Amino acid sequence: MSENPVDSVSDALTGRDPVKSANLIYILYLVGIIIPVVPIVAVVLAYMYRKQATGWLESHNTYQIRTFWIGLLYGVIAMVLMLLLIGWLVYVAILIWLVVRCVKGMQALARREPIPDPQTWMV
C-alpha cells in the first residue's frame, strides 16, 4: 500500500524526514517558476533544515541555498539587461539553469548521493 501524501508532506515540512524535506525544497524551486514568491519559502526552509542535514544531505542543503542566491543574482542581472532588450534571453537561460540544477539535485537525492560540488555556480 502506498504512503499517505498528506503524511509525506507533513514529514517534509516538519523536518522529520530530511530526504523528503530536501526533495520538497527542490520542488518548491520548480514551482517558483510559475509563482515567484515560492523560492523565498524554499530558501527559508533550507536554512531551517540546515542544522538537521548530516552526511551526504549537507551537500544538498548547501546546493539548495546557493541555488537561490545565485538565481537571485542572475535574475537581477536579467532585469537590468531588459533595458537593452536582451534580458529576456538571459531570463530564459536562468530558467533552464534552474530546472537542470533542480533535476540534477533530485536525481542525486533519489540515489541517496551527495552533490559532487555544491559550491559550483554552474550545474
Query: Amino acid identity, residue 97?
Result: W
Q: 20, 109 in Cβ contact below 8 A?
A: no
Q: How many domains does the chain have?
A: 1
Q: What is the pLDDT of residue 28?
A: 97
Q: Is residue 62 part of a domain?
A: yes
Q: What is the separation of C-alpha 29 from the centre of its chain, rounded to a whole number of angstroms?
A: 5
Q: 86, 38 in Cβ contact below 8 A?
A: no
Lowest mean pLDDT among 73-77, 99-103, 118-122: 118-122
Mean pLDDT within 83-112: 94
Q: Is residue 48 part of a domain?
A: yes
Residues 10, 97: Cα–Cα separation, whole Å: 29
Q: Is residue 123 part of a domain?
A: no
Q: Is residue 29 part of a domain?
A: yes
Q: 67, 47 in Cβ contact below 8 A?
A: no
Which residue range(s) make up the domain with 66? 5-110
Q: Is residue 115 part of a domain?
A: no
Q: Which residues contact residue 43 at a Cβ distance below 8 angstroms, ignoring those fewer than 6 apart?
A: 64, 65, 68, 69
Three cell numbers written together for 94: 536562468
Q: Is residue 120 part of a domain?
A: no
Provide the terminal-to-terminal Cα distance of the chain, rounded to the nearest Å. Answer: 36
Q: Which residues contact residue 46 at a Cβ distance below 8 angstroms, ignoring those fewer than 6 apart?
A: 25, 61, 64, 65, 68
Q: Is residue 64 part of a domain?
A: yes
Q: Identify the band that residue 107 occupies on the pLDDT scale cut at 50, 70 and 90.
A: very high
Mean pLDDT of the chain: 89
Q: Is residue 37 part of a domain?
A: yes
